[in-house]
């Protein structure tokens, strides 16, 4: 066990855990912030994505000792005042189905827009490739990212009744 | 309760809940004007105008927390903005609460409509009484009763006290489809805002005071058991508080954090008794199914006499592997056993089964086990199983405190029930023009239901009855089932046997079309040309509706127009869970690997409640089915599952997602299934596109393994 002070969503949090503990479990079990999800424990699905100094990182493969002195942003702190534009776009496009992967999707998208405010479809594919969704919400995720970027991109015919 | 099939549950529940709705009163709720008005088990209206709709089905992404309340709100003439929902745990008030078989909307359609209509009538009568006017001069509009000639208005909340004293009408009149204002519109989902804020509570997020976390070590070999274990090293891990055998095949490690429990399990040493399956391989299993295909069968459907047909004979066999559901939220359940009672918080598709199984495992009466239903991070059938619930109950009892059992992804991939592997043999005899005189589809598979103690019906697995195994008009036809046994634990996966049946039958139809030198669409339409009712067990399938989805899919995909250079397409259709579906898949080939460019998916599911959610389900079903067709395969070697995580069992990722255009055929027929029916015609449409591109037939899934 060791003591760490973490900067999470702009405030300092003191935790006492073993140094190799993944950030994911510190967030979920110790700090009781359960917005960040466990999906694979191996950095393969992206459900646990958080921002570390603004970049998307898999918290299940990030040891707590590696993030001391860095700015950690989770879904709980993404929209500093109210909803982040991505969260609003996610609501406007009604993206989630089961919703379990969506926090990780939004965090990856937030990192993308920070670097690249007007991503192309290829940019989106590249940035979101690490985030799995079993319900199959990808098409709406793409639309929501374009919407949050303020880009009027026609992604696909939305179908509907005959 | 004697075991009843998944399917029979739905049939019974639809019948039972229709009568139940007006018969059930919540005691005490109607006696005082300060309490909410609860004319039936589905609805509460409070004096401050909050309308709460009880949702007895599980929300796993398919939108029941939105679509079911919409049905009730439509008849109630409620203001949608005032609707909130309450998730119902295991209960005795609603018939079966199993969420599966694409049946939630279908089986809630009558109960929810009647619940809303009865309440509306009572509120109308209450207002008429209050004003001393004839009820026919009052109208229900947006959550209030109005009296036009005197310009008076009372909100539902203001009428609660008086309405609660009135008799509940037995058979309230229901609206015509043409009068719908809410049903059929693209309403946003109730659960979306919490899900994008990270505030939605899934099973894995449940936290109760003093709760600990448990991981279980389970035998890696199918059917194996614990021989002995050494907990010395595990107990040295900081935070580990309990290690113990909780069943023949599992040892639990309990700690004060998930990470602690993971470390503890890693340090635990278990000697396994590997049992009789230590040499089992997938290849051997498939070989034994091939051999069994010549064996004794039972008939699912028969027309004419297939032995009499004379002409050109066609034959092909098809194979599908074991597949894993792999929902994004790994298995979990939280339990608190307290001597004579136990409370569970479960992300389950079947709270009543979970309750019953936990009660049996604990030796408690069912009434002493409470099951709360959380949000489900995906289901796809995996959460119909009660394994997590039973484990959590047993671990809580063993460690004498509240505990959450968590499965890792590897546990989920390697220890789950799987979609069964299947083998299909199809034969046909064609006349001189290439039209089938006879068609025989023989399916070799284990029975999922029988393995779970649910009896066969007419010798077949009850789930097979929900598929339109043969909708085409063929004078001599036979659909048969050869049942085999397997030690592999089996589960119901999205579209159940439908995916396998459609892969085989719709690929074969394409082969026949090719043999007949006919366009695959024209060939199908020709066999569906006559308006016919094809009765398949209790479902009457209509060739006209199947034609409808095929024609719409073809039209939207531009079937009659030439494709871009290098593009190829395939078509397929299928019926299951009462709905009709057709897909057109368009691909390019990149270094002999198909890249799916576009999918047009069409469903006829009767009355559509919410086209927004329908579109989600269609897009999701296509992506789920594409992953199954292209890559999904669980391999057994030495009795163990080889695949472990998302690097060797690979769902589709963002860059692989084609354009998916989802359409539906407008209908005022009663609603039928949506979550599963678009799945089956995906794999064959894709395989038929691959044939169009390569002139090679895919006869074994997954495609990228063939």
Contacts of B272 (CB under 8 A, 6+ apart): B219, B220, B221, B224, B225, B226, B227
Closest Cα partner for B581 from B598, B599, B602? B602
pLDDT at position B516, please? Answer: 97
Give A134→chain B minimum CA distance, Å: 6
CATH superfamily of A2-77: Beta-grasp domain (3.10.20.30)
User: Which of A18, A44, A140 is facing B645, going by the closest CB pair?
Assistant: A44
Strands B269-273 and B225-230: antiparallel
Average pLDDT over residues A13-24: 97
In order of A123, A126, B114, B569, B689, the CA distances from A78 in angstroms are 21, 22, 43, 43, 44
CB under 8 Å to B581, separation ≥6 — which residues? B549, B573, B574, B575, B601, B602, B603, B604, B677, B678, B680, B681
- Listed in order, strand segments (DSSP E) in A9-157 are 11-17, 49-52, 55-58, 71-73
**pLDDT-derived band at A151, boundaries 50, 70, 90:** confident
Q: How far is CA B304 from CA B436, B437, B538, B539, in A?
A: 13, 10, 20, 20
Taking an 8 Å cut-off on Cβ atoms, the answer to whether B330 and A1 are in contact is no
CA distance B430 to B512: 8
Q: Please choose, from the candidates B99, B144, B122, B103, the residue with its C-alpha nearest in 3D space to the C-alpha of residue B40.
A: B122
Q: Look at B586 and A153; give whichever has higher pLDDT.
A: B586
Cβ contact B622:B599 at 8 Å: yes
DSSP code string of B245-270: EEETTEEEEEESSHHHHHHHHHH-EE
- Tell me if B198 and A36 make a contact (CB, 8 A cut-off): yes
For position B22, what pLDDT does the model report? 32
Q: Indicate the fold that domain B283-322+417-705 takes in CATH.
A: Aldehyde Oxidoreductase; domain 4 (3.30.365)
* Distance in Å, alpha carbon of A68 to nearest chain B alpha carbon: 19
pLDDT surpasses 90 at B369: yes
pLDDT attached to residue B5? 57
Measured in angstroms, the CA of A54 and the nearest CA of chain B are apart by 18
Of A17, A49, A87, A159, which to mutate for an interface test with B (greatest number of B Cβ within 10 Å)?
A159
| Nearest-by-Cβ selection for B654 from A1, A45, A125 | A125
Task: Find residues 192-251 of chain B whose CB sits inside 8 Å of chain A.
Answer: 192-193, 195-202, 204-205, 207, 213, 238
Long-range Cβ pairs for the range A29-32 (8 Å, 24+):
A29/B213, A29/B257, A29/B258, A29/B259, A30/B257, A32/B207
* pLDDT, average across residues B303-308: 95
Distance in Å, alpha carbon of A125 to nearest chain B alpha carbon? 5
CA distance B635 to B487: 14
pLDDT at A29 over 70: yes
DSSP H or E stretch at residue A109: helix A102-115
pLDDT number for residue B471: 87
Residues B690 and B594 sit within 8 Å (Cβ to Cβ): yes
Residue that wins the pLDDT comparison between B451 and B16: B451
Q: Is A140 on the interface with B (CB under 8 A)?
A: yes
Q: What's the confidence (pLDDT) of residue B125?
A: 97
Which are the contacts of B207, defined by CB distance < 8 A and separation ≥ 6? A32, A34
The residue among A93, A108, A139 with the most chain B CBs within 10 A of its CB, best to mutate, is: A139
Kindly list the residues from chain B whose CB atom is less than 8 angstroms away from the CB atom of residue A30: 257
* Residue of A25, A42, A142 with shortest CB distance to B259: A25
Shortest CA distance to B369 belongs to which of B398, B399, B390? B390
Tokens (6 digits) for B77: 């003439």
Question: What's the whole-number mean pLDDT along residues B666-680?
Answer: 96
Measure the CA–CA gap between B238 and B261, rounded to whole angstroms: 9
Mean of the per-residue pLDDT values of chain B: 94
- Residue B9 clears pLDDT 90, i.e. is over it: no
- As a whole number of angstroms, the distance between CA B393 and CA B402 comes to 9
Tell me where in chain B the CATH 3.30.365.10 domain(s) lie.
6-190, 203-276+331-406, 283-322+417-705
What part of B 579-638 touches A (C-beta under 8 Å)? Answer: 608, 611-612, 615-624
Tell me how far the alpha carbon of residue B431 is from its chain's centroid: 40
Question: Closest to B620 (Cβ–Cβ): which among A29, A91, A136?
Answer: A136
Give the minimum alpha-carbon distance from B464 to chain A in angstroms, rounded to a whole number: 24
- B contact residues 388-417, partner A, Cβ 8 Å cutoff: 406, 408-410
What tokens appear for B464 in the block?
């097979």
Going by pLDDT thresholds of 50, 70 and 90, the confidence category of residue B64 is: very high
Instruction: Give B69-96 pLDDT, tens digit per residue.
Output: 999 999 999 999 999 999 999 999 999 9
**Burial letters for B663-693: b for 16+ Cβ neighbours within 10 Å, e otherwise?**
bbbebeeebbbbbbbbbbbbbbbbbbbbbbb
Give the count of beta carbons closer than 10 Å to the beta carbon of residue B299: 12
Structure tokens at B609: 């409640």
Taking an 8 Å cut-off on Cβ atoms, the answer to whether B645 and A134 are in contact is: no
Residue B196 neighbours by CB under 8 Å, 6+ apart: A83, A87, A90, A91, A95, A96, A99, A102, A103, A106
Residue A157: pLDDT above 60?
Answer: no
Is 50 exceeded by the pLDDT of residue B26?
no
Q: Select from 1.10.630.10, 1.10.150.120, 3.30.70.20, 3.20.190.10 the CATH code of A85-148.
A: 1.10.150.120
ipTM for the complex shown: 0.96
pLDDT, tens only, B190-224? 999 999 999 999 999 999 999 999 999 999 999 99
pLDDT per position as a tens digit, B484-531: 999 999 999 999 999 999 999 999 999 999 999 999 999 999 999 999
Among A39, A91, A126, whose Cβ lies nearest the Cβ of B192? A91
Start and end residues for every CATH 1.10.150.120 domain found in chain A: 85-148
Is the pTM above the cut of 0.90? yes
Contact B317, B505 (CB under 8 A): no
Q: In this prediction, what percent of chain B has a pLDDT beyond 70?
A: 95
pLDDT bin (cut points 50, 70, 90) of residue A1 is confident
3-state secondary structure of B59: coil
Nearest CA in chain B to A42: B645
CB contact under 8 A, A45 and B63: no
Distance from the Cα of A8 to chain B's closest Cα (Å) equals 15
Residue A11 CA: distances (Å) to CA of A57, A132, B490, B523: 19, 30, 48, 67
| Range from A151-155, B15-19, B120-124, B353-357 carrying the lowest mean pLDDT | B15-19
Residue B29 — very low, low, confident or very high, per pLDDT cuts 50/70/90?
Answer: very low
Question: How many CB atoms lie under 10 A from the CB of residue A3?
Answer: 8
Q: Do B612 and A141 touch (CB under 8 A)?
A: no
Instruction: Find the closest chain A residue to B619 by CA distance.
Output: A136
- Predicted local confidence at residue B649, as pLDDT: 98
Pick the CATH number of B203-276+331-406 from 3.30.70.330, 1.20.1250.20, 3.40.190.10, 3.30.365.10: 3.30.365.10
Q: Does B668 touch chain A (CB under 8 A)?
A: no
CATH 3.30.365.10 fits B6-190, yes or no: yes
Q: Tell me the two tokens of residue B476.
A: 């001599």
Residue B36 scores a pLDDT above 90: no
Residues on chain B touching A94 (C-beta within 8 angstroms):
188-189, 192, 612, 616
Counted across chains A and B, CB pairs separated by less than 8 A come out at 209
Please name the residues between 95 and 134 in chain A that touch chain B, using a CB distance below 8 Å. 95-103, 106, 124-126, 128-134
Q: Do B665 and A106 touch (CB under 8 A)?
A: no
Of A21, A30, A40, the CB nearest to B646: A40
Residues B51/B76, Cβ–Cβ less than 8 Å: yes
On whether any CB of chain B is under 8 Å from the CB of A143, the answer is no
pLDDT at position B705, please?
A: 83
CA distance B76 to B120: 5
Q: Among A35, A39, A91, whose Cβ lies nearest the Cβ of B199?
A: A35
Region A146-161 average pLDDT: 70
- The beta-carbon neighbor of B657 closest among A101, A106, A138 is A138
Residue range(s) in chain A whose domain bears CATH number 3.10.20.30: 2-77
| Matching residue, tokens 């950095």 | A43
For residue A136, give the nearest of B63, B556, B619 by CB distance. Answer: B619
Q: Is residue A40 less than 8 Å (CB to CB) from chain B?
A: yes
Label residue A73 by pLDDT band (50, 70, 90): very high
Write b or e for each residue in B159-179: b if 16 or more Cβ atoms lie within 10 A of its Cβ, otherwise e.
Answer: bbbbbbebebbeebeebeeee
What does the pLDDT read at residue A80?
74
Residue whose C-alpha is closest to residue B665's, from B525, B552, B565: B552
Handedness of CA B681, B684, B690, B691 (dihedral sign): negative
Is B61 at the interface with chain A, CB within 8 A? Answer: yes
Please return the burial class of B696, using the count of CB atoms within 10 Å of its CB with bins 0-12, 13-18 and 19+: exposed
Region for residue B453 given its phi and psi (left: phi exceeds 0; alpha: psi -120 to 50; beta: otherwise): left
Cβ of A160 within 8 Å of Cβ of B657? The answer is: no
As a whole number of angstroms, the distance between CA B250 and CA B253 comes to 10
CB proximity list for B629: less than 8 A, separation 6 or greater: B503, B682, B683, B686, B687, B701, B702, B703
For residue A16, give how far its alpha carbon lies from the nearest alpha carbon of chain B (Å).
12
DSSP B531-576: --EEEETTEEEEHHHHHHHHHHHHHHHTTTSPPPTTEEEEEEEEEE
Indicate the residue of A44, A136, A156 with minimum beta-carbon distance to B646.
Answer: A44
DSSP state of B407: -
Looking at CA atoms only, how far is residue B376 from chain A in angstroms?
Answer: 7
Which residues in chain A are contacts of B657 at CB distance < 8 A? 136, 138-139, 142
CA-to-CA dists, residue B376 to B128, B383, B391, angstroms? 44, 8, 18
Tens of pLDDT, residues B449-488: 999 999 999 899 999 998 887 889 999 999 999 999 999 9
From chain A, pick out residues whose CB is under 8 angstroms from the CB of B61. Answer: 96-99, 135
Q: Which residue of B has its CA nearest to A79?
A: B197
Average pLDDT, integer, range B679-684: 98
Is the pLDDT reported for residue B19 higher than 60? Answer: no
What is the pLDDT at residue B39?
Answer: 83
Q: CA-to-CA distance for B301 and B480, rounded, in angstroms?
A: 7
């Amino acid at each position: 066990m060791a003591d760490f002070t973490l900067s999470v969503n702009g405030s300092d949090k003191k935790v006492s855990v073993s140094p190799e503990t993944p950030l994911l479990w510190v967030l979920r079990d110790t700090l009781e912030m359960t917005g960040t999800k466990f999906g694979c424990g191996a950095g393969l699905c992206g459900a646990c994505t958080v921002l570390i100094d603004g970049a998307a990182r898999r918290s299940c493969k990030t040891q707590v000792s590696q993030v001391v002195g860095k700015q950690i942003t989770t879904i709980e702190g993404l929209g500093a005042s109210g909803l982040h534009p991505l969260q609003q776009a996610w609501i406007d496009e009604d993206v989630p189905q089961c919703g379990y992967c969506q926090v990780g999707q939004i965090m990856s998208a937030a990192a993308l827009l920070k670097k690249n405010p007007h991503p192309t479809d290829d940019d989106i594919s590249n940035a979101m490739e690490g985030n799995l969704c079993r319900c199959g919400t990808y098409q709406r995720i793409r639309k929501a990212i374009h919407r949050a970027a303020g880009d009027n991109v026609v992604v696909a015919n939305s179908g509907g009744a005959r | 309760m004697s075991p009843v099939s998944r399917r029979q549950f739905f049939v019974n529940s639809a019948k039972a809940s229709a009568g139940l709705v007006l018969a059930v009163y919540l005691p005490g709720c109607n006696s005082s004007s300060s309490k909410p008005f609860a004319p039936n088990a589905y609805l509460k209206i409070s004096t401050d105008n909050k309308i709460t709709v009880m949702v007895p089905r599980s929300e796993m992404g398919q939108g029941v927390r939105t679509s079911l309340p919409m049905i009730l709100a439509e008849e109630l003439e409620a203001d949608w903005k005032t609707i909130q929902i309450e998730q119902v745990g295991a209960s005795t008030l609603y018939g079966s609460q199993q969420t599966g078989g694409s049946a939630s909307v279908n089986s809630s359609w009558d109960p929810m409509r009647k619940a809303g209509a009865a309440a509306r009538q009572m509120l109308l009568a209450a207002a008429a009484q209050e004003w001393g006017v004839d009820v026919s001069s009052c109208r229900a509009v947006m959550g209030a009763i109005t009296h036009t000639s005197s310009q008076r208005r009372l909100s539902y909340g203001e009428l609660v006290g008086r309405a609660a004293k009135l008799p509940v009408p037995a058979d309230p009149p229901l609206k015509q489809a043409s009068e719908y204002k809410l049903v059929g519109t693209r309403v946003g989902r109730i659960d979306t805002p919490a899900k994008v804020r990270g505030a939605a509570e899934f099973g894995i997020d449940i936290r109760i005071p003093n709760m600990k976390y448990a991981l279980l070590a389970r035998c890696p070999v199918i059917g194996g058991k614990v021989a002995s274990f050494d907990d010395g090293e595990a107990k040295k891990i900081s935070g580990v508080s309990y290690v113990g055998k909780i069943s023949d095949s599992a040892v639990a490690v309990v700690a004060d954090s998930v990470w602690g429990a993971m470390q503890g399990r890693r340090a635990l040493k278990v000697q396994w008794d590997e049992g009789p399956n230590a040499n089992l391989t997938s290849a051997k299993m498939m070989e034994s199914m091939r051999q069994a295909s010549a064996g004794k069968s039972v008939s699912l459907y028969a027309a004419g006499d297939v032995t009499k047909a004379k002409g050109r004979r066609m034959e092909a066999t098809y194979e599908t592997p074991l597949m894993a559901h792999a929902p994004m939220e790994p298995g979990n359940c939280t339990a608190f056993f307290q001597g004579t009672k136990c409370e569970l918080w479960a992300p389950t598709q079947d709270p009543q089964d979970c309750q019953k199984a936990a009660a049996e495992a604990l030796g408690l009466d069912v009434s002493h086990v409470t099951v709360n239903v959380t949000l489900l991070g995906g289901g796809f059938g995996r959460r119909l199983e009660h394994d997590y619930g039973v484990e959590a109950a047993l671990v809580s009892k063993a460690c004498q405190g509240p505990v959450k059992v968590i499965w890792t992804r590897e546990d989920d991939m390697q220890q789950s029930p799987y979609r069964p592997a299947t083998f299909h043999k199809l034969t046909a005899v064609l006349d001189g023009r290439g039209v089938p005189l006879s068609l025989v589809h023989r399916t070799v598979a284990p029975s999922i239901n029988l393995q779970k103690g649910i009896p066969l019906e007419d010798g077949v697995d009850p789930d097979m009855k929900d598929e339109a195994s043969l909708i085409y008009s063929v004078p001599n036809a036979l659909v048969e089932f050869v049942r085999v046994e397997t030690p592999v634990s089996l589960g119901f996966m999205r579209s159940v046997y439908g995916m396998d049946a459609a892969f085989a039958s719709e690929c074969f139809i394409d082969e026949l079309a090719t043999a007949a030198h006919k366009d695959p669409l024209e060939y199908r339409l020709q066999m569906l040309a006559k308006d016919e009712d094809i009765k398949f067990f209790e479902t009457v399938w209509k060739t006209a509706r199947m034609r409808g989805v095929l024609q719409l899919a073809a039209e939207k995909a531009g079937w009659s127009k030439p494709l871009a250079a290098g593009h190829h397409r395939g078509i397929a259709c299928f019926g299951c869970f009462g709905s009709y579906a057709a897909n057109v898949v368009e691909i390019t080939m990149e270094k002999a690997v198909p890249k799916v460019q576009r999918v047009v998916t069409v469903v006829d599911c009767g009355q559509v409640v919410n086209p927004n959610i329908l579109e989600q389900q269609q897009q999701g079903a296509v992506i789920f089915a594409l992953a199954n067709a292209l890559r999904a395969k669980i391999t057994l070697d030495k009795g163990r599952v080889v695949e472990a995580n998302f690097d060797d069992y690979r769902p589709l990722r963002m860059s692989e997602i084609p354009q998916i255009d989802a359409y539906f055929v407008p209908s005022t027929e009663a609603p039928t299934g949506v979550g599963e029916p678009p799945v089956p015609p995906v794999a064959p449409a894709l395989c038929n596109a691959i044939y169009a591109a390569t002139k090679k037939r895919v006869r074994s899934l997954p495609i990228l393994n063939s």
